[in-house]
C-alpha cells in the first residue's frame, strides 16, 4: 500500500479543466468574452512556459466565483462536467486508477486548478482525496481570493507534506503521474515518478532520469 498521486489537467484528463472553465464562462456570457478569452489564453500560455504568476492568475480565475450566486455556480458546475469534461476522461485513465485501487494504494489527485472546478471531476474518476488550490469562502460565498498555499509547483510539495502529516502517511513506495514541468518539484520527491504525455521540458528530464513515459490517450498497458 502506497500513495498514488495524480495530476489532473492533461494527465488524467485529455485537456485542461482550468482553461476550459474559462472558455465555458465566456461561452455562457458570464464574463466579458473578448477580454476573458484573451487573458485566459495568456495565462495558459504562461503556465505552459513556466512563467505563470499564480496569484495574478488566481485573482483573474476566482473572480467569477465571487460574482455569481451559489445556486448558479452549482448548476454551471454540473453542466461543465457533463458537457466539457466527461468527453476528456479516457478509458486509459480509469484503467490506471483501477490498477492502483487493486493494489490498495491511497489515491490522491493533486492539482493547481481550484477545488470548485476539480472536485466534481475527481469524484467522477472515483477518487476520494483531492489536494487543490482552495478558493476562500466567507459566509457561504466565494470571495474571489485564495485560501492558503496555492497547490502549484513547490506549493504541491508543501500541501502534500501537510496532508501526509495529518493522515500519518509518507512517500515510501509512492507514485506521481504528471504531464507538466511545473510538477518537477514533486516528481523529484516520490519513489516512482511517471511522465504522462509530457510537455517538452518534462520529456527531456524523464529521458535523462530514466523515468517511465506513458500515454493515457489510448489503452494503458
Residues annotated catalytic, as ranges: 7, 9
Helix intervals (H) in the chain: 17-27, 33-49, 54-61, 63-67, 70-80, 91-102, 115-124, 154-167, 184-187, 200-209
Q: Which residue has the cell 458546475?
A: 77
What is the spatial distance between Cα 70 and Cα 33, in angstroms, rounded to a whole number? 22
DSSP state of 197: S
Rg (CA), the chain: 17
Amino acid at each position: 500500500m502506497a500513495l498514488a498521486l495524480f495530476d489532473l489537467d492533461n494527465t488524467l484528463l485529455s485537456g485542461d479543466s482550468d482553461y476550459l472553465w474559462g472558455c465555458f464562462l465566456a461561452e455562457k456570457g458570464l464574463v466579458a468574452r473578448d477580454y476573458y478569452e484573451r487573458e485566459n489564453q495568456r495565462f495558459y500560455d504562461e503556465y505552459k512556459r513556466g512563467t505563470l504568476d499564480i496569484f495574478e492568475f488566481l485573482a483573474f480565475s476566482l473572480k467569477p466565483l465571487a460574482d455569481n450566486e451559489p445556486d448558479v455556480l452549482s448548476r454551471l458546475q454540473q453542466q461543465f462536467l457533463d458537457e466539457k469534461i466527461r468527453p476528456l476522461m479516457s478509458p486509459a485513465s480509469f484503467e490506471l486508477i483501477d490498477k492502483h485501487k487493486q493494489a490498495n494504494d491511497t489515491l490522491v489527485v493533486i492539482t493547481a486548478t481550484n477545488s470548485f472546478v476539480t472536485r466534481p471531476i475527481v469524484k467522477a474518476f472515483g477518487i476520494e482525496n483531492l489536494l487543490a488550490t482552495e478558493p476562500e469562502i466567507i459566509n457561504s460565498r466565494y470571495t474571489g481570493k485564495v485560501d492558503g498555499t496555492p497547490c502549484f509547483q513547490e506549493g504541491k510539495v508543501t500541501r502534500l507534506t501537510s496532508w501526509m502529516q495529518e493522515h500519518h502517511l509518507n512517500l515510501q513506495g509512492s507514485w506521481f503521474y504528471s504531464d507538466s514541468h511545473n510538477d518537477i518539484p514533486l516528481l523529484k520527491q516520490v519513489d516512482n515518478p511517471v511522465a504522462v504525455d509530457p510537455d517538452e521540458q518534462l520529456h527531456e528530464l524523464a529521458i535523462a532520469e530514466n523515468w517511465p513515459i506513458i500515454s493515457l490517450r489510448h489503452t494503458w498497458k
